Structure 1
């Protein structure tokens, strides 16, 4: 006996996508609650590091990997040891017993990060884990490694505040304080402006366009985060440019540009270099949106990550797409599992 399936019209499919998008949108709108929940989590198996830590390795991919970019940016002004990011299957040869390696994977199952985690265990590095569950938490519990378990049941990209704060918290428990704000400060900062309204306004400007997110080196993690959100949620190509490096290459590409581009600049107050960039792009006839950022780094990164997340979900809704679904990522993961890379 066969079940008869209803054939959905295009308008009905669009309606389904709107429902799915609205459900996913809540995973961004509830960030104040997520920050509060993350603040109550206590790292497990916290301990003192061995003396003479040579460097910190942050291992993570995608929505989890962006945490490493933020930690790197914070560390450049606060630490006297290097922070290195790995978004790959391989750990650099010079990482060994004198290093602290932090594995960040929302699922706890990311194959690249898990592969690197097993390698740094073999090399006897000091290790910490941030995940919502999976093999990495099992490994941390089995080996009594320091770890933080973040709230489950979300996507990695919509869990960004929890992953970031958990990573900063476990680093602090190990004696590495990056001077991050208290959770209540972040919540208050998120509530100062209507991030849903800001997201709608940005979505209006970027619907039907290829967004280019620009920033200083310090705010590169935010620009990268914005690009990734539009890739994954809105299913659209997007580009990141970092300045002043971009003045030696990217800027020339806009001299004779073509295509439906729309520029978004994340600019710290008083950054004259990015003000010059804005005037140059406007002079070339490009659409430019500028957001002024204060010196409260972590709060700004979380707030504008929420805004671009909301905007990318709204763009997906306008296009009749499910923002949560990532078909090609699923295909890649199946390929890796099948080929046992």
Structure 2
């Protein structure tokens, strides 16, 4: 399992992987799949169908606070417009920080995927304008408006609701990132098969877990244990995992997978390819420690699992 707090670099790496394999057209197809306004994936469409333009305010009030963004949102239903000014995007900001910290290269057009939200807005008759000026330093803005009402003027008056937040006011913990990762893993598995999915997850591990791999080479299975416990700590699910390190053997028991639990709790279908986020990543960590990795059991219904590492 990947923690939802680790999703953004995985997202960026997936964009890079798809473009390298099949070109930009394939990445555009992936974005179309991911943001398709069907109601079962990214849920903006459910909000705007029910609430109209207010649904934009409701949807991003949830996601941006959970992502600990620096933003100011405006909603004027009487004027028929919604605007969000992203002072500092937590996603692009994390990628820029990782570039400095571990040399990770963000996908070169990472921010353009946000333009795909327009599928949901336009399906219900709204218009969508995205301003990408400032993305190099993690800033952007969007304007969504109802063409039947909006007169072309953004005027903040007594009819305007404003939400102004800073990252320090919130904790970075957006569990619905699990849904997008589940969809991404499914897309690669269904379109390209096990070999490509294994390649992607192995590459991700080498690119993003650089400090972990360095620690593993120095400390062996103990560093793998630390990484696993940290993942469940990030998920606020310490009760989900137990580990035991005896001699050259690290044993891990997962009572439930927080990601699988979230997917089921929100009515999503867990991809049959999702378990590879454990097996491939753990195999890659095992290789770094010169260990054999064995998946002893896995319950697809809950994500409960038992596996172990043994020093070769």
TM-score band by shorter chain is under 0.3
TM-score by length of 2: 0.25
